Chains A and B, each alone.
Chain A
């Protein structure tokens, strides 16, 4: 029955890992904004396929130098 020491040690250890992860995520600021990520994850990635059309090059030029 002494195995219970080991089992307890393991269970507390596992709990501590999750606890540490929680503290880490708070520290990284993951709980500062709980709304935006929920919207962001729904965006399509459809931009990837049309990123390099030649047309967009010229207009980028236009925008970066509005004074021209």
Chain B
């Protein structure tokens, strides 16, 4: 088997020899020629077979002739220079970076181009006079890097990158280092002439360094504590904010009254460590978007038809948002219909699998209603708009309340639940011990009160969760489960109900299992069937054709295809009819059960032969997952499809699995809501736009994706389809990670007890605090890191053992 020099795919049907290299298709060869002719062959030296074979794009980007659309896509435009950013999902290696940053060798109008690899974007500056945006997009597409342009791009918000955490961390680190130096001499408590001389100066310098730490770096804790108090939640930020405030006030008083050196070292260290924890937790997969809605699935423009002044029908590329009721639209093959419409002309064969969960494309006649989100699969359509994009049946789902709510913060985190008791305990210890000292030795009471609050500041507790979950998030990333944020892991650990979508989630998008029922076909009939199917472009014909023997290809005498219905053909006095049961006829021989399923019927020489049944192919290990999850969780299948697959699912899945069919997107959402009202913690696993509501409503929503580059709806995590059967292991893993956090809490409480014993007796010296604080924090970080790596390794081993 020879592999393509450009894209690395095996050359299956054809092998094109060119310049002593093999190519799998003309597309790949063309890209090679373009790069070769422009002295860009270094592309192939950087990585082996780095290329992507380009797709057919004729006419696809005509909408870029429309200036208002172009204007919206451009980031900067002064009529001389234009800047544009594209999302290019096919960026995957260093060769990609190199070729995209050398675009000016292919087109001199490009002034500069810069790739952001993690985000898979390229930012191109070009001169407007010499080139147009359309040509640029076509150039990119021709070399295999087709940009992804969707409706979402038309309302681009100002790209706002929040870098405040880095600033805060930088300032805290800077101050921490300097304060450590300045307070070092006083740790030894030597009375030495020069030291005493400079003491006040050193101390006030430390005070100056701590100001930005308290009022800028630590400001987040104060606002969060205030918010918590206002909504009557004792979150972890309350004792932290209290600790920071007391540290600062006590230290300032100490140096002002010349009582001591203050705790500025502990103060700056505390804020620094806490911010590191926050920073560590913030790992993001910038090339994945977890917030997408229908807008990034829909096209930005459609072809509008209207009559000009001479009465002739002309085409115009119009923005999707400008489309009104009554407009005529032209939908080409493989285009997505962005509005609800009535079919006027053409043969509609619409693939709704992504928006409704129906597995097979549906054919429609003129006069039928078409819903937004379907993808046309056969030829050109003319439709009349019923409802514009914002009011269409599909997009109505997004007006549901769940989409306006922010999911983070609804569920109480582990840290917050412990901080409730912790805060109360600390405050009571502080008050009781200072009351005690008020009676025994009033001069010490203030000292003890502040010392308790200082030493009890839950730095280690606050670090336990971020570091454990941050590590776990990275381990999941290695295992190809990409989580939106760390709080998802805590929710995963609580899950007791798992709901699966069927189409695209339990079934694969790619393969079909095809079986034949009926009278066996003779070899002549088989040959005729193969030759007939060869000429058809219907998706079912294509997949059937692929499994048949392809010997003896001949030209048919007569061939006729009725799109969406079937094909009839004749050859050497034999005639054949292939298609739906209505097309083939012979109603008596077809059971009603078969009508519900996806079938291709065949009659030869006017005698009914039988039919090929298309079964959706289930992912490997579906039954095992259901067994594994079923032991301690409820498992439910929620499908938008009809009941045609019920029997197969029942045999495949363990007995007692609940199956629900014909579920509309709203039904799915409400189903999850009802489960939650009954106290269930729901994990929803879906794939398409029809699951979007359910994914958002559920405690945890995962999307299964064959290719993480393509669109997936808003969710909490994206699971690579190859890892589908590991869901059970991942849920167990999240449980063990929560256990680690609990151990870390115990450990940090131990440190707090030690610190408190110093504090209540009135012996907390700054040097003790300065040692205890970093020691507890660092040991917690070390503990959680080692523990998570250990369970991560165990997860790996468990998975390897099973497979």
Contact = CB atoms under 8 A, between A and B. Distances in A.
A19 B38 contact: no
B115 A31 contact: no
Nearest to B37: A59
Interface stretch (B162-170, B356-364, B706-714, B761-769): B162-170
Contacts of B117: 33, 35-36, 39
B105 A33 contact: no
Interface in B36-70: 37-40, 42, 46
A21 B131 CA distance: 38
Contacts of A53: 39
Nearest to B132: A64
B666 interface: no
Given A1-B197, A36-B118, A47 B108 contact: no
A51 B717 CA distance: 46
| Chain B interface, >50% SS class | helix
Given A19-B174, A63-B34, A64-B109, A56 B39 contact: yes
A36 B39 CA distance: 23
Interface in A42-57: 42-44, 46-47, 50-51, 53, 55-56
A39 B39 contact: no
Given A47-B39, A63-B107, A64-B107, A36 B166 contact: no
Contact of A12 (B34, B178, B194): B178
Nearest to A27: B163
Contacts of A22: 170, 174
Contact of A56 (B38, B98, B114, B174): B38
A63 B40 CA distance: 14
Contact of B116 (A15, A23, A33, A65): A33
Interface string B90-110: 000010011001100111110
Given A59-B37, A64-B139, A40 B131 contact: no
Given A15-B174, A63-B139, A33 B118 contact: yes
A27 B198 CA distance: 37
B38 A60 contact: yes
Given A19-B174, A63-B106, A64-B109, A42 B42 contact: no
Given A33-B119, A56-B39, A63 B170 contact: no
A26 interface: yes
A46 B39 CA distance: 10
Given A27-B163, A64-B131, A39 B178 contact: no
B37 A23 contact: no
Contacts, number: 87
Given A32-B161, A60-B107, A63-B34, A39 B102 contact: no
Given A63-B139, A64-B135, A36 B116 contact: yes
Interface string A2-35: 0011001000100100010011001101011101
Nearest to A31: B166
A37 to B, nearest CB: 9
A36 B97 contact: yes
A26 to B, nearest CB: 5
A39 B105 contact: no
A16 to B, nearest CB: 9
B207 to A, nearest CB: 14
Given A39-B94, A64-B135, A31 B142 contact: no
B197 A51 contact: no
Nearest to A44: B42
Interface string B181-211: 0000000000000100110010001000000
A64 B102 CA distance: 15
B563 interface: no
B161 A23 contact: no
Given A5-B201, A47-B39, A59-B37, 19 more contacts: A15-B178, A19-B171, A22-B170, A26-B170, A29-B161, A31-B163, A39-B94, A40-B97, A47-B42, A47-B105, A51-B39, A53-B39, A55-B37, A59-B38, A63-B34, A63-B107, A64-B131, A66-B135, A66-B138
Interface of B: 34, 37-40, 42, 46, 94, 97-98, 101-102, 105-109, 114-119, 130-131, 135, 138-139, 142, 161, 163, 166-167, 170-171, 174, 178, 194, 197-198, 201, 205
28 contacts: A4-B198, A12-B178, A23-B167, A26-B170, A27-B163, A29-B161, A32-B116, A33-B117, A33-B118, A35-B117, A35-B118, A36-B114, A36-B117, A36-B118, A40-B97, A43-B94, A43-B98, A44-B42, A47-B39, A53-B39, A56-B38, A60-B106, A60-B107, A63-B107, A64-B139, A66-B135, A66-B139, A66-B142
